[in-house]
Amino acid sequence: MSRIDEALRRARDGRLAEPPEVGHSLHEYPHENRAGSDGESISYSSAPQSAAAPVSTASLGIEVPAALTRQCQRIAASLPTRQAQAALKTIAIASAAVGEGKTSTLLGLALTLTRTSASRVLLIDADLCQPTLHEAVRIKQSAGLSDVISGERHKAPPVVLHPSLHVLLAGRPSTNPANDLGSERLRALLEQCAAHYDWVLLDTPAMSLLLDDADVLGRLTDGVVFVVGAATPFTAAERAMATIGEGRILGTVLNGLAESSLP
């Protein structure tokens, strides 16, 4: 049985085991809670460490479909045990190609973690090829990750969507994203972020855009959630997952499939 077949089977089992629920939405994060460019920086050591209240429902206008939400719940349910066993904190959301639903999965997983375990979550837009997270949560793009990696800024201010959920923007697109994603500056920043948040989730470039350097995603974080779109050939997904490394993949998400297409 292939990895993709196994993912399909798991998605089916997870769907049958969980009650139907409405999808998450991000409409619930009030604009007045968002910090500007002079907000608290990632490296600010006095960031609150107390448990944050779970995020409530409703709306920034971006819905996470119920089917995707259930898959995020399935993955999130396994993370506390893995975190206790292996000090897991940083997770990349990856896919073989563009448009497979990485950003929606990132948001669905973040909402699940903030709501079910009162976790403090930092989202990082590490898609240095085609950053879109700012559009998804309706934030104006500004200085962010690429500026820290390049050394142009020493600190990057996160945007506060909710006390439990912060966002570090990508900044300007990188001219060498694979090199930047493998840099020591990014590694040091992720370690610092992990010290201040319960979970750090990264949106990443489609592996097809990184070409021969796509293996950098397997080394970037403590683990990877891999997203497979409905139109992606299974062979392409399997090659991408093999590049990351089977031992690094925490779970798979099947996005955009009709309920009837799952076995």
**68-105 pLDDT per residue, tens:** 999 999 999 999 999 988 889 999 999 999 999 999 99
In words, the CATH class of domain 3-24+63-260 is alpha beta
**Is residue 109 within 8 Å of 72, Cβ to Cβ?**
yes
**What is the predicted pLDDT for the residue at 203?**
97
b/e sequence 159-198, b meaning 16+ C-beta within 10 Å:
bbbbebbbbbbbbbebeebbebbbbeebeebbeebbebbb
pLDDT digits (tens, 9 = 90+) for 138-191: 888 888 899 889 888 777 789 988 888 999 999 988 889 999 999 999 999 999
* C-alpha–C-alpha distance, residues 183 and 156, integer Å: 16
Structure tokens, 100:
């497979």
Q: Edge-to-edge, what's the strand order for the sheet holding 223-229?
A: 159-162, 165-168, 121-125, 199-203, 90-95, 223-229, 249-255
pLDDT digits (tens, 9 = 90+) for 227-242: 999 889 989 999 999 9
Average pLDDT over residues 210-238: 93
**Is residue 256 within 8 Å of 229, Cβ to Cβ?**
yes
In the chain, domain spans: 3-24+63-260
pLDDT tops 60 at residue 259: no
* C-alpha–C-alpha distance, residues 103 and 238, integer Å: 20
**What is the predicted pLDDT for the residue at 34?**
41
